[in-house]
């Protein structure tokens, strides 16, 4: 049975079972129906403009929210459900607006925070628009060349040389340099004690939704926007002509399915509409929904969306991604899930570039009641990883999750840093890390795609965590990730609460995205 058949069966079942409730719940659908009848050309144009504006504002707000105090105001009401590190975000933003120079990067192996000096513009994390990304990438490329040269000429203590010139003969030296951090003061907090009451989750507020309902809620914004756009489209066009398909193509691109997918889908729809001789808006709409579902189905064929866990010993999950995308929150949510499954969980705060990041992970560890390995800000992240993996092995942890820094100051540094962490992990646990999960913020659309390409070039990403799907109208980004990146989406963030993280499930995703849009 294909995804489309499953979708139809589910839609029917849900209608039959929950008829009264559905009537109340799907106000958005009736709103869409009303729009279908009443939207005039002018209204549609205005609605589109408002919508775009609202989306832009939302995207901007999301981008800004990770580094401004406004975030704390917006989220005050959610204190009981998730940790918010307002104080630290402030310090983060001031730090992130600056960058390390090439000189400082070559001195990283000294683990000396004090050697870092700053200059503008060579990281991607503060990028909030495509042009900025392009600009930054250009700079990054230039810097990368310079960086490679500089690093190549630096003494044997540099990270690059450690990684590239390491031979069996120098293994001992390298071990020494990597193990030396152990002597640094390390705080390994066993959080067996209960965290204070103010930091406890309010479990009564956690939803008891099954997977489908969770997706249905999380994707409400994407669904309703797509539905509204479809309705507006049908209100504007009395006949299904070439202009209709062009507008449909624009609409799909606006939904972030990716340019190629939008073209492909529209081409297929042209043929299908002819084939089925669909003329009435209702029939055409069904063909559109059906085609989209089929596309999700076929693109996902053979995709391994599962999280790979070690068959024995600790499973190591490494989280990468730029600042503010939701790495720490995802780790916090996942830690709770693993803990509830009876697993022994250890977190490693390897984002040592800012104190706020360490503290934020610490708060999650306390709330989840799991352990954490953390060092002071500015220390070598690899040292925290080393302590973490040693501890995980020695004390039989099931899961080790590593929160890395989101700084993408330049590819060489990032690559070296991640490579160093991976080498330390592999030395202790040969098949670690079991997953390198790239966290992407769905609300940033094409920026997320750009970041993904950079990370993919830099390290062996094994899967994507797509966060903040609840905050975007562009759920189509899942298709773009599949088509353009060929990476499986493994987890999705559907809200800010601890339970708002789901394994990616194509059935549930499609149901959440298109429910109510198929007309009987
Ligand atoms: N609505 C929504 N918000 C989310 C989701 N995941 C994370 N967030 C929010 O996104 C913001 C940033 O999340 P963080 O976990 O701090 O992001 P990060 O990647 O660790 O950022 P740094 O620590 O700065 O590197 C926080 O306010 C989170 O509550 C999600 O799935 N939905």
Identify the residue whose tokens are 């088509």: 483
CB 252 within 8 A of CB 75: no
Which tops the pLDDT comparison, 63 or 427? 427
CB 191 within 8 A of CB 366: yes
Residue 503, pLDDT score: 92
Taking residues 160-188, report their average pLDDT.
34
Beta-carbon count within 10 A of 217 CB: 16
Q: Which of 329, 362, 448, 502 to mutate to test the pocket of ligand 1 (most atoms within 8 A of CB)?
A: 329
Identify the residue whose tokens are 């992970």: 361
Residue 102, domain member (yes or no)? yes
Cα of 325 vs centre of ligand 1, distance in Å, is 5
Which tops the pLDDT comparison, 95 or 402? 402
Output the residue whose Cα is nearest ligand 1's atom 7: 326
pLDDT tens per residue, range 478-519: 888 877 888 999 999 999 999 999 999 888 888 787 776 666
Which tops the pLDDT comparison, 4 or 109? 4
Of 72-76, 293-297, 454-458, 473-477, the range with the lowest mean pLDDT is: 72-76
Token code pair at residue 275? 């084939």
Q: Using 50, 70 and 90 to split pLDDT, how confident is the model at 354? A: confident
Q: Which residues contact 10 (CB under 8 A, 6 or more apart)?
A: 212, 507, 511
Residue 518, pLDDT score: 65
Q: Would you say the CB of residue 356 lies under 6 angstroms from ligand 1?
A: no
pLDDT tens per residue, range 185-242: 344 444 333 333 323 333 333 433 577 788 888 888 888 787 777 778 877 877 788 8
Q: Which residues contact 440 (CB under 8 A, 6 or more apart)?
A: 321, 325, 448, 451, 452, 464, 465, 466, 467, 481
Taking residues 427-452, report their average pLDDT.
91
First to last CA, the chain: 20
Q: Would you say the CB of residue 445 lies under 6 angstroms from ligand 1?
A: no
Helices (H) and strands (E) in the chain, counts: 22, 11
Residue 478, pLDDT score: 84
Q: Which of 500, 477, 517 is nearest to 296 (CA)?
A: 477
Output the residue whose Cα is nearest ligand 1's atom 26: 326
pLDDT tens per residue, range 291-343: 878 877 776 667 788 999 998 899 999 999 988 899 999 999 999 999 999 99
Output the residue whose Cα is nearest ligand 1's atom 10: 326
Output the residue whose Cα is nearest ligand 1's atom 6: 326
Cα of 327 vs centre of ligand 1, distance in Å, is 6
Q: Would you say the CB of residue 83 lies under 6 angstroms from ligand 1?
A: no
Ligand 1 atom index nearest CA of 329: 15
State the total domains in the chain.
1
Q: Would you say the CB of residue 471 lies under 6 angstroms from ligand 1?
A: yes
CB 398 within 8 A of CB 362: no
Which tops the pLDDT comparison, 225 or 431? 431
Residue 12, pLDDT score: 67
Output the residue whose Cα is nearest ligand 1's atom 27: 66
- Cα separation values, 254 from 12, 35, 265, 438, Å: 29, 20, 14, 24
CA 263, CA 258: separation in Å to the nearest integer? 9
| Domain region containing 92 | 86-165
The pLDDT of residue 369 is above 80: yes
Ligand 1 atom index nearest CA of 500: 31
Cα of 359 vs centre of ligand 1, distance in Å, is 14
Strands 399-404 and 187-189: unpaired
CA 101, CA 413: separation in Å to the nearest integer? 11
Residue 134, domain member (yes or no)? yes
CA 486, CA 476: separation in Å to the nearest integer? 15
Residue 121, domain member (yes or no)? yes
Q: Would you say the CB of residue 468 lies under 6 angstroms from ligand 1?
A: yes
Residue 55, domain member (yes or no)? no
Residue 119, domain member (yes or no)? yes
Output the residue whose Cα is nearest ligand 1's atom 29: 496
Ligand 1 atom index nearest CA of 82: 29
Q: Would you say the CB of residue 329 lies under 6 angstroms from ligand 1?
A: yes
Residue 7, pLDDT score: 66
CA 482, CA 472: separation in Å to the nearest integer? 18
Residue 123, domain member (yes or no)? yes
Cα of 250 vs centre of ligand 1, distance in Å, is 30
The pLDDT of residue 437 is above 90: yes
The pLDDT of residue 412 is above 60: yes
Q: Which of 317, 334, 338 is nearest to 432 (CA)?
A: 317
Residue 321, domain member (yes or no)? no
Residue 309, pLDDT score: 93
Q: Would you say the CB of residue 332 lies under 6 angstroms from ligand 1?
A: no
Q: Would you say the CB of residue 328 lies under 6 angstroms from ligand 1?
A: yes
Q: Would you say the CB of residue 470 lies under 6 angstroms from ligand 1?
A: yes
Global pTM value: 0.64
Residue 212, domain member (yes or no)? no
Taking residues 138-164, report their average pLDDT.
34
Share of the chain above pLDDT 70, in %: 58
Ligand 1 atom index nearest CA of 67: 24
Q: Would you say the CB of residue 444 lies under 6 angstroms from ligand 1?
A: no
Q: Which of 64, 66, 77, 322 to mutate to test the pocket of ligand 1 (most atoms within 8 A of CB)?
A: 66
pLDDT tens per residue, range 24-53: 344 444 444 333 333 333 333 333 344 334
Q: Would you say the CB of residue 96 lies under 6 angstroms from ligand 1?
A: no
Cα of 410 vs centre of ligand 1, distance in Å, is 22
Taking residues 462-479, report their average pLDDT.
87
Residue 154, pLDDT score: 32
Residue 232, pLDDT score: 81
Beta bridge partners of 439: 465
Cα of 493 vs centre of ligand 1, distance in Å, is 9
Taking residues 444-462, report their average pLDDT.
87
Residue 519, pLDDT score: 66
Q: Average pLDDT, whole number, for the chain?
A: 67
């Amino acid at each position: 049975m294909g995804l489309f058949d499953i979708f139809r069966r589910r839609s029917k079942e849900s209608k039959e079972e929950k008829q009264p409730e559905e009537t109340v719940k799907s106000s958005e659908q009736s709103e869409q129906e009303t729009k279908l009848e009443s939207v005039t050309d002018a209204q549609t144009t205005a609605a589109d403009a408002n919508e775009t504006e609202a989306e832009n504002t939302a995207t901007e707000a999301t981008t800004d929210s990770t580094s401004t105090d406004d975030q704390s105001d917006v989220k005050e009401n959610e204190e009981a459900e998730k940790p918010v590190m307002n104080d630290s975000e402030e310090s983060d933003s001031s730090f992130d607006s600056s960058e390390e120079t090439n000189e400082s990067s070559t001195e990283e192996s000294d683990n000396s925070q004090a050697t870092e000096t700053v200059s503008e513009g060579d990281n991607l994390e503060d990028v909030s628009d495509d042009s900025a990304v392009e600009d930054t990438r250009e700079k990054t490329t230039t810097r990368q060349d310079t960086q490679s040269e500089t690093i190549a000429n630096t003494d044997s203590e540099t990270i690059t040389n450690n990684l590239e010139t390491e031979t069996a003969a120098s293994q001992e030296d390298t071990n020494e340099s990597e193990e030396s951090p152990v002597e640094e003061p390390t705080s390994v907090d066993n959080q067996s004690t209960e965290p204070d009451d103010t930091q406890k989750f309010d479990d009564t507020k956690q939803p008891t939704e099954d997977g489908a309902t969770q997706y249905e809620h999380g994707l409400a914004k994407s669904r309703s926007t797509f539905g509204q756009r479809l309705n507006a489209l049908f209100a504007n066009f009395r006949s299904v002509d070439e202009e209709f398909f062009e507008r449909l193509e624009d609409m799909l691109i606006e939904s972030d399915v990716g340019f190629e997918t939008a073209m492909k889908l529209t081409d297929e729809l042209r043929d299908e509409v002819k084939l089925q001789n669909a003329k009435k808006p209702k029939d055409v709409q069904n063909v559109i929904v059906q085609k989209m579902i089929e596309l999700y189905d076929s693109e996902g064929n053979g995709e391994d969306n599962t999280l790979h866990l070690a068959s024995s010993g600790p499973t190591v999950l490494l989280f990468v991604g730029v600042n503010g995308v939701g790495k720490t929150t995802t780790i916090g949510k996942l830690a709770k899930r693993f803990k509830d499954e009876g697993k022994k969980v250890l977190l490693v705060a390897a984002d040592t570039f800012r104190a706020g990041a360490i503290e934020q992970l610490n708060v999650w560890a306390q709330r989840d009641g799991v352990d954490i390995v953390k060092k002071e800000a500015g220390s070598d992240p690899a040292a925290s990883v080393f302590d973490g993996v040693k501890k995980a092995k020695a004390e039989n942890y099931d899961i080790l999750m590593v929160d890395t820094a989101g700084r993408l100051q330049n590819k060489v540094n990032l690559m070296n840093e991640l490579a160093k962490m991976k080498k330390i992990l592999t030395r202790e646990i040969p098949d670690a890390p079991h997953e390198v999960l790239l966290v992407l913020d769905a609300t940033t659309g094409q920026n997320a795609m750009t970041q993904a390409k950079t990370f993919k070039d830099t390290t062996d990403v094994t899967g994507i965590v797509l966060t903040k799907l609840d905050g975007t109208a562009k759920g189509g980004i899942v298709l773009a990730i599949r088509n353009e990146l060929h990476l499986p989406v493994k987890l999705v963030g559907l809200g800010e609460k601890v339970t708002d993280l789901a394994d990616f499930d194509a059935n549930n995703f499609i149901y959440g995205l298109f429910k109510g849009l198929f007309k009987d």
